[in-house]
Amino acid sequence: MTIERNTLRFSAAHFATFGGDCEPLHGHNYDVFVELEGGLTDDAWVFDFVTLKRIVAGLCDQLDHRFLLPVDNPHLRVREDEKAYEIAFADRRYVVPKADVAALPIDNSTAERLAEWLCGRLASELRARNASNLESITIAVEEAPGQAGWYTARLDRGE
């Protein structure tokens, strides 16, 4: 089963590091795609569409209108105090109020890592709902039309 776009989106600012460099601060209107694979339940569905959309929309809300901070990025120097994050790369420095930051336990704010983070969070939510029939979750995060990062997680049935 799949769900995509419509309410499954978020707008966020970020920069990614690569090859010893760092992109300028910029933003995207991200779209999220979700695919669940698994056996049918006794009611002949993989998972309830409405519930899945609510869960994923809630995850997107956590990122919406935030600066996406990859706190595990080895190229960034990150300091946190009571009110703000200070982020530095080489001679560039940003100070961002905590309320405007989604501090993520990832090493880079690429579409691929965002898809992986969302996939892990969704897997936790589905386990909490005893969705033991599920075999895999695939998430895509599209940062521009036709430009997306994908991540698939295999799930242990009965988990």
Which positions are catalytic? 22, 65, 143
Task: Measure the CA–CA gap between 103 and 78, rounded to whole angstroms.
Answer: 10
Beta bridge partners of 104: 70
- Residues sharing a CB contact under 8 Å with residue 48, sequence separation 6 or more, in sequence order: none
What whole-number distance in Å separates Cα of residue 1 and Cα of residue 113?
23
What length is written for the chain? 159
Which residue from 57, 62, 61, 87 is spatially nearest to 75, judged by alpha carbons?
87
Contact 73, 14 (CB under 8 A): no
Which among 132, 108, 125, 138 has a CA at the least distance from the CA of 62? 125
The answer to whether the CB of 47 falls within 8 A of the CB of 56 is no
